[in-house]
Amino acid sequence: MTDVTVIGTGVIGSAVARACARSGLEVSVWNRTRERSDALVEEGIRSHPTAAGAVAASPIVLMCLLNYDITHRVIGEASPDLSGRLVVQNASGTPENVLPLRERVEAGNGVYMEAAILNYPDAIGTEDCFTVYGGAAEDFERLKGVRSALGGRQAYLGADPTYVKAYHVVSSAFYYAFINGFLECSAIAEAMGVPLADFAESVPLYDPGFQNTIEVGLDLIKRGDYTYEQAPLTSHLDVLDNLTGIAEQAGIDRSYLGVMRERVREAMDRGYRREHIAVLTTWFRDRRESSAGRMPVGGR
Ligand SMILES: NC(=O)c1ccc[n+]([C@@H]2O[C@H](COP(=O)([O-])OP(=O)(O)OC[C@H]3O[C@@H](n4cnc5c(N)ncnc54)[C@H](OP(=O)(O)O)[C@@H]3O)[C@@H](O)[C@H]2O)c1
């Protein structure tokens, strides 16, 4: 027997397996493309020819495949005996994906836990790793060795496994907003002859401002009163007009800057002037409340 099995040794699964092995755990792995799992053997990790064999090898099974469909398929094809196994799903997905997979695991007499890794693979095993978990508290405890191998911050988000995926969806949406900002910013920098490295040096200086935007914005959203003199809507429109033109010149199609400008303009058409830009969130809420398709997850 080994301590932990990793199913799927892509970039995330390999980093997880390596971190576990480096922390002294005995690790088994399986991967569809055998070369990828065999590459881990020189680190003392056991590569199994079948998923069923790898699952049988350990009481804790970490699923690190690309998505839920593939996870279902791999479990279905291998039909491993899950008795006594704690199966932890790490793949990205949506809250609706969670319960069908839990049912499948429980039908095989396994115990299910949902997880998400909120960083790049190279942070796994370092203090920069951030993982979240949902399921029974005693199972979170059972994962202690694995969690300490992954390192960094590990948050237990409660007994409801679907909440973990809701949380992950929110953090992924924020991540892609950041990525999109970076992509458009690099095109604008190139077009304007500003070395991106010069801009990058200034980014840490903005950090308190980002934090402030979130703190102030959350407070205003919570209070439902968006009056805020420091950066009223009227001050955003000119800036966004300029930036939208520059984005076009930089060859950026469908820029988020144009979308932001239109949103601000629409808010001003409705009579808003001195409010914080967070007032735009009320549009989304209004549309959500008037649409038939409500979100299935209520949150914590
Ligand atoms: N990379 C990141 O920065 C990051 C960060 C957080 C979370 N995640 C999440 O982690 C999960 C794994 O992503 P990754 O980045 O490790 O991707 P990856 O390197 O592409 O690995 C994908 C894994 O899924 C397997 N797979 C794909 N299609 C398959 C199929 N039809 N049958 C069986 N196995 C199949 C791959 O096996 P083969 O080797 O045989 O293709 C591999 O083990 C994803 O849900 C991703 O969103 C990734």
State whether the beta carbon of 11 lies less than 6 angstroms from ligand 1: yes
The answer as to whether 298 is a domain residue is no
pLDDT, mean of residues 177-187: 96
Of all residues in the chain, the percent with pLDDT exceeding 90 is: 86
Rounded Cα distance, 235 and 57, in Å: 62
Residue of the CA atom closest to atom 6 of ligand 1? 117
- Among 136, 165, 194, the domain boundary falls at 165
Strand residues in 39-196 grouped as ranges (E): 46-47, 60-63, 86-89, 111-117, 130-134, 153-156
Which CATH number goes with the domain that contains 115? 3.40.50.720
Q: Is the CB of 40 under 6 A from ligand 1?
A: no
Domain match, 112 and 249 both:
no
Residues 70 and 160 in one domain: yes
Q: Is the pLDDT of residue 202 over 80?
A: yes
Global pTM value: 0.94
Range of the domain at 272: 205-290
For residue 79, the model assigns a pLDDT of 83
Q: Are residue 96 and residue 224 in the same domain, yes or no?
A: no
pLDDT score for 260:
97
pLDDT, tens digit, 9 for 90 and up, residues 245-282: 999 999 999 999 999 999 999 999 999 999 999 999 99
Domain membership of residue 128 (yes or no) is yes
Indicate which atom in ligand 1 lies nearest the CA of residue 32: 40
In this structure, the answer to whether residues 11 and 135 fall within a common structural domain is yes
Task: Tell how many helices (H) and how many strands (E) occur in the chain.
Answer: 12, 8
Residue 176 belongs to a domain: no
CATH number at 281 reads: 1.10.1040.10
Domain count within the chain: 2
Angle between helices 161-192 and 95-107 (to 10 degrees): 140
Tokens of 103: 């049912």
